Amino acid sequence: MIRVELVKLLRSRRTWVTIALIDALPVLVAILLAVTGVGPRPGSGPAFLSAVLTDGTLYPLAALAMVVPLFLPVAVAVTAGEAVAGEGQAGTLRYVLIRPVGRTRLLVAKLVAVIVFALLAVVVVAVTAYVVGVTLLGQQDVTTGTATFSGTSLTTPELVARTLMSLGYAMLCMLGVAAIALFCSTLVDTPLAAALGAIAVLIASTLLLTLDAASALHPWLITRYWLAFTDLFRDPIFWRDILRGVGLQLLYVAVFLGAAWANFTTKDVTR
């Protein structure tokens, strides 16, 4: 079933249009930076962006920092929201289930497809950003190392390892979003409602994070540690928030996947 879902994902025009749209923003920013040469003041704007002007090879990180907090969650919520409700709306859900495909297997396959989608998006963004960064913003001699936030230098293998770790972390965050959207998708009849439900959770979480009165809730909000991946680029790595983030995302995944499973496996499929 996983294979079938992947085939559907890769053959869908929407997958590629979405990825292209996500990819457009970092490209636009790179062009603007290259043309104007004006970087954000240190400490403001998206992470890494001020460092990018001196070194284009860092641009993939800056691009991910732009895309991961907002675009990717929305795209993941839409894709995962489609999972059950979308099949229901297309009238295919009943035919999938009577092939028969087990309901649990279907959920797992859908989840895997969503994560592959997110990975694909991230890889496309990273590769384009690297190409665009190097060609438009120039390249420092890589062997001299790349600056961390802490002012020390990273060797290329270190940089690659930390970038991969941050990608893994971002994927785990997307898994949390996917779990919520998947649960919504088993709950409502239209994919749009499911996606909006998941996005509403993210917005509410972001909003509450800005509110001091909600500080008791902060450690439990899903977006609380999303940007902790930047801590991977400190020297030494600042693990505390990252580990908390991992734990929190796993908790969200467990709770919402469990709820999605419990709801879907006992649901009357009447569409």
Measured from the CB of residue 107, what is the shortest distance to other proteins in angstroms?
A: 14
Q: How far is the CB of 243 from other proteins (least distance, A)?
A: 39
Cα dihedral value 39, 43, 44, 49, nearest 10: 40
* CA gap 244, 231 in Å, rounded: 12
Which of 94/240 has CB closer to other proteins? 94
Q: Measured from the CB of residue 132, what is the shortest distance to other proteins in angstroms?
A: 31
For residue 163 the two structure tokens come to: 């970038």
CB of residue 59 to other proteins, shortest distance in Å:
34
CA 93 to chain centre: 27
| Omega within 30 of 0 (cis) for the link into 236 | yes
Q: At its nearest, how many Å lie between other proteins and the CB of residue 92?
A: 4
Looking at the Cβ atoms of 116 and 131, the one nearer to other proteins is: 116
Taking alpha carbons only, the member of 48, 52, 25 closest to residue 137 is 52
Query: Measuring CA to CA, which residue among 267, 114, 87 is closest to residue 179?
Result: 114
Residue 104, classed as helix, strand or coil, is: helix
Question: Among residues 102 and 247, whose Cβ is nearest to other proteins?
Answer: 102
- Check: CB of residue 197 under 8 Å from CB of residue 189: no
Nearer to other proteins, 1 or 255 (CB): 1
Structural tokens at position 156: 């290329």
Q: Would you mind telling me the total number of residues written for the chain in this entry?
A: 271
* Residues in touch with other proteins (CB under 8 A): 1, 3-4, 7-8, 11-13, 90-102, 266, 268-270
Nearer to other proteins, 35 or 98 (CB): 98
